[in-house]
Amino acid sequence: MTLEEIRDYFKKAEEEMIRKAGGENKWSNLSDIKKAERKAKMIEEAVAELGKEEFNNLTDEEKRLFRLFIWAGCGCHKDLNTIRGGYLAMAAWWIENELEEERPVLLANRDNDPVIQERDTALGKGDTPTPAQERAFHKSTCGAIKTAEIAGAIFNHKDKKKGHHDIFRYWW
């Protein structure tokens, strides 16, 4: 499809949108927000229709490859799932093999840290931890994923006066 054909297609779609709105007079009486909403919907529908037409013009092999790409996607989430799966498998391995001393250090946030310390004190005395203490312990994380999360918070803090931001780049 040439650019001129695409332009003509969108012109016809816009004329149809105005006709559905009740004609030029009613269209001109709509607020800018309503016009923008209807135009966005029209563009979305037109692009979808053009995409379907072009997809139907592809060969079977091209369609197969295109569907494969859409099904597989870019792979970023799959990479993330791989890392997460590996992390969970390692965490389960530490628990199964009872390697408490060799596990990564628990990196609790400032709210959970005092509660976890109370839990450790209670366990040291032979007491049963409270549900809040157990929840704080189980919600706190450790290991490489938590370390990367903390580094991200330090280097890219939402408050530009806190954190390191570009200072790390300048140093590096």
* Boundaries of every domain in the chain: 3-58, 105-171
Could you tell me if 140 and 108 are in contact, meaning their C-beta atoms sit under 8 angstroms apart? yes
- The confidence band for 71, taking pLDDT boundaries of 50, 70 and 90, is low
- The confidence band for 82, taking pLDDT boundaries of 50, 70 and 90, is confident
Q: What is the predicted pLDDT for the residue at 172?
A: 57
| Separation between Cα atoms, residue 144 and residue 148, nearest integer Å | 6
Instruction: Look at residue 109 and tell me whether its pLDDT is greater than 80.
Output: yes
